[in-house]
């Protein structure tokens, strides 16, 4: 008799199909050899608890107390979503290797790919599952955790797949920069085991929720979107500078004439906001960043606001040009004079698997990836690297 692990891999007669489901947790509909997610049971939400520091006073201000631990309620997760960077042969090879390893080591875990990626890999990975076209809610219903293979853009793409809460994400760096990605894909087995066994450390990355309004205050149907890096109003392709009024908690803060204004998160502080002259903010600092883009005034400097703030950006009624709303770099449509967006803290942060020692990892990243405080006199080394006994070469 065939063992439980072999049932999904053979052709079952109609009589045996019901019996096969008793031996597998991968209860998926097979249509013409394609596994879909429609019959995968709804996931059970994991228990995410705040870590306790090793300090004697267990101060809530300790860095460890601001990170979290993952608990699968005594079981193992049942479904993983793998997201990959497009058009990269190295990433394709990594996805195939990780999928094969998961299927061998944890056959009870269902592996889900996005529809275009599924079409690419179905012939070589017949055990992977496809979310049916048009059934976007399946992501939120069944996915227990997400693996990303690529760069920061691949990581940000995950946020757009889930309407509200996003499952824990394991980001592996296979892109150009990878500032948000703490793990090398060579270590995927170790990091995946930690997540599956519930021993991983989670870093909550604050997100923003943006809503769009017409000039009369009517809420636009495209509002209520969660963004990870920034919300921005920009003049886009229009030749004239745009005039934008910025309100803080319904009080006029300033009116800016320039290319635009960015409202960002600590995660987004190393993205567009940084290029516009904004500050670098540690991910555990719960805050919002307001950065002007090429303002006509030299005295409009970037601001760091409490995360409880509500920021309103309105295209001034006397603005010469229109403006365009951008969310994490995506074009979200044109704003006419008098129309505006409101940005506030989202109740749904991104829970990212991270290094247990966040401070050491963050300091390493801004020095190695962003070349923090490098001078022309020392093109290869930081001038005082010997002062840090923990500094090391990769």
Task: Tell me how far apart the alpha carbons of residues 315 and 202 are, in angstroms, rounded to a whole number.
Answer: 38
- 45, two tokens: 């939400």
Instruction: Please tell me which residue in 57, 61, 119, 152 is annotated as part of the active site.
Output: 152
CB 175 within 8 A of CB 151: yes
What is the H or E stretch that residue 367 is in?
helix 358-368
Task: Tell me how far apart the alpha carbons of residues 140 and 158 are, in angstroms, rounded to a whole number.
Answer: 11
Q: Which residue has the tokens 């085991």?
A: 193
b/e burial code for range 100-119 (CB count within 10 A of at least 16 → b)? eebbeebbebbbbbbeebbe
- Catalytic site residue 152? yes
Q: Using CA of residue 53, residue 183, residue 205, residue 295, what is the dihedral sign?
A: positive
Query: Which residues 6+ apart lie within 8 Å of 20 measured at CB?
Result: 7, 8, 12
Task: Tell me how far apart the alpha carbons of residues 37 and 30 are, in angstroms, rounded to a whole number.
Answer: 10
Using alpha carbons, list the distances in angstroms from residue 295 to 3, 78, 239, 323. Answer: 68, 50, 15, 15
Task: Tell me how far apart the alpha carbons of residues 293 and 379 are, in angstroms, rounded to a whole number.
Answer: 29
Q: Which residue has the tokens 């496809």?
A: 130
- Dmax (CA) of the chain: 78
What is the H or E stretch that residue 97 is in?
helix 89-105
Task: Tell me how far apart the alpha carbons of residues 385 and 227 are, in angstroms, rounded to a whole number.
Answer: 36
Q: Parallel, antiparallel, or unpaired: how do β-strands 311-315 and 242-248 relate?
A: antiparallel
Q: Which residue has the tokens 């079409």?
A: 119
Task: Tell me how far apart the alpha carbons of residues 266 and 23 are, in angstroms, rounded to a whole number.
Answer: 46
What are the catalytic residues? 152
């Amino acid at each position: 008799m065939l063992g439980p692990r072999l049932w999904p891999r053979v052709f079952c007669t109609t009589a045996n199909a019901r019996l096969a489901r008793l031996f597998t947790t991968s209860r998926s509909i097979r249509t013409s050899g394609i596994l879909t997610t429609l019959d995968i049971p709804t996931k059970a939400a994991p228990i995410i608890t705040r870590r306790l520091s090793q300090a004697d006073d267990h101060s809530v201000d300790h860095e460890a107390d601001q990170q979290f631990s993952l608990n699968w309620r005594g079981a193992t997760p049942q479904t993983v979503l793998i997201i990959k960077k497009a058009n990269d042969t190295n990433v394709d090879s990594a996805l195939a290797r990780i999928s094969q390893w998961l299927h061998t080591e944890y056959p009870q875990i269902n592996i889900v790919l996005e529809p275009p990626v599924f079409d690419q890999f179905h012939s070589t990975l017949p055990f992977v599952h496809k979310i049916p076209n048009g059934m976007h809610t399946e992501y939120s219903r069944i996915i227990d955790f997400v693996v990303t293979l690529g760069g920061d853009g691949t990581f940000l793409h995950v946020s757009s797949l889930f309407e509200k809460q996003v499952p824990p994400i394991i980001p592996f760096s296979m892109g150009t920069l990878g500032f948000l990605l703490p793990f090398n894909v060579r270590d995927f087995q170790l990091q995946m085991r930690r997540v599956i066994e519930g021993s991983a450390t989670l870093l909550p990355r604050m997100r923003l929720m943006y809503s769009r309004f017409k000039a009369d205050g009517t809420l636009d149907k495209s509002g209520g979107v969660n963004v990870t890096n920034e919300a921005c109003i920009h003049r886009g392709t229009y030749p004239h500078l745009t005039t934008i009024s910025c309100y803080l908690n319904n009080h006029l803060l300033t009116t800016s004439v320039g290319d635009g204004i960015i409202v960002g998160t600590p995660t987004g502080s190393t993205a567009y906001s940084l290029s516009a002259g904004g500050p670098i903010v540690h991910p555990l600092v719960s805050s919002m960043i307001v950065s002007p883009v090429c303002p006509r005034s030299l005295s409009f400097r970037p601001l760091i606001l409490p995360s409880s703030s509500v920021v309103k950006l309105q295209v001034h009624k006397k603005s010469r040009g229109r403006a365009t709303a951008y969310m994490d770099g995506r074009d979200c449509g044109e704003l006419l004079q008098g129309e505006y967006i409101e940005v506030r803290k989202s109740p749904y942060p991104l829970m990212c698997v991270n290094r247990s020692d966040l401070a050491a990892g963050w300091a390493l990243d801004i020095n190695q990836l962003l070349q923090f405080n490098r001078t022309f006199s020392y093109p290869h080394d930081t001038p005082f690297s010997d002062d840090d006994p923990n500094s090391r070469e990769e």
